Amino acid sequence: MRALGGALAVFAALALAAGDAAAAKPLKVRFPSADAAGTLIGGLYYKPDVNSGRPGRRAGVIMLHGCAGMLTKSGKLKRRPKFWAEWLADQGYAVLLADSFNPRGFRSICQTAARPLSPKRDRPFDAYGALKFLQVQPEVNPGRIALMGWSNGAMTLLWAVREGAPARPADLTDGFRAAVAFYPGCIALGRKPYATDVPTLLQLGRADDWTPAAPCLKMVREAAGRGVPIEADAYDGAYHGFDNPALEIKTVVTRNNASKTKERRVHVGTDVAARVAAIERVRDFLATRLAE
């Protein structure tokens, strides 16, 4: 793994993760997707500690996993979602990891050519099902909930908060207050002018050869120029998955019939400097957007 930031960056990354050990164990939950069938999905819920001295109901964050899913073969939470869920919980948020895959009978779709779920047509309904579940929890403020997504989950996020999204329930009173998308694919999203009323932050790697940053930066630049509340940070030298706590840079094969090449070899791995910067950026963005 190449040197990516020096001793200070490594120290900062460890310090930012220091709250992991103190995080409460999550609750396994089940809830219906907002799709027409009311498909029963589920996930893990980190219930906030209401006895911590912080008054009032808490802001919440819903997390959407990527094409590899959020669980290992043995059923344990993978390192990246585990870090973010525990870090967010340590910040005082109620955290819900929505699992679109395992309840439907599959663990990963990264190497599946004909993917059974679409981040445009299917998974946004799961995002809104998760929102409705979190909004009725007595310890959660229903008007202060953010959506976060990674890769396929980040694309799901951008389709879900897009203006006129079909997945948004007609009876929804409070929508998402903010959205944070890590390295989504933006080619399809950018074919039409992108618009949302949800303040949205993209976190991108400039060296990403799986979901390249350039289409997202172009989409954000054009949308922001029209007054859309969307912004992006792009980190030099960072590959896909740069925020993983400890993933040595490697090459993986991905398959997808929607891709022109259908099968590609791409790079994934941690970039310490980009990871530290992204954690700080997300912390500040959520603190601002989810404030009372």
pTM value > 0.85:
yes
Is pLDDT larger for residue 260 or for residue 243?
243
Lowest mean pLDDT among 97-111, 130-144, 234-248: 97-111
Share of the chain above pLDDT 90, in %: 80
Confidence of residue 24 (pLDDT cuts 50, 70, 90): confident
pLDDT of the residue at 186: 97
Amino acid at 32: P
| pLDDT at residue number 3 | 40
Domains with residue ranges and CATH for the chain: 6-289 (3.40.50.1820)
Confidence at residue 113, expressed as pLDDT on a 0 to 100 scale: 74
User: 3-state DSSP helix/strand/coil percent for the chain, to nearest 5?
Assistant: 30, 25, 45
Do residues 125 and 34 lie in contact, with contact meaning Cβ atoms separated by under 8 Å?
Answer: yes
Which single residue is written with the structure tokens 């007595």?
A: 138
List C-alpha distances in Å: 76 to 22, 99, 102, 148, 167: 18, 13, 12, 20, 29
Could you tell me which residues are beta bridge partners of residue 86?
Answer: none
Closest CA to 139 of 55, 44, 58: 58
The pLDDT, as a whole number, for residue 23 is 58
Neighbours of 258 (CB within 10 A): 13
Is residue 211 predicted with pLDDT exceeding 50?
yes
Residue-wise over 202-236: b if at least 16 C-beta within 10 A, else e? bbbbbbbebbbbebbbebbeebeeeebbbebbbbe
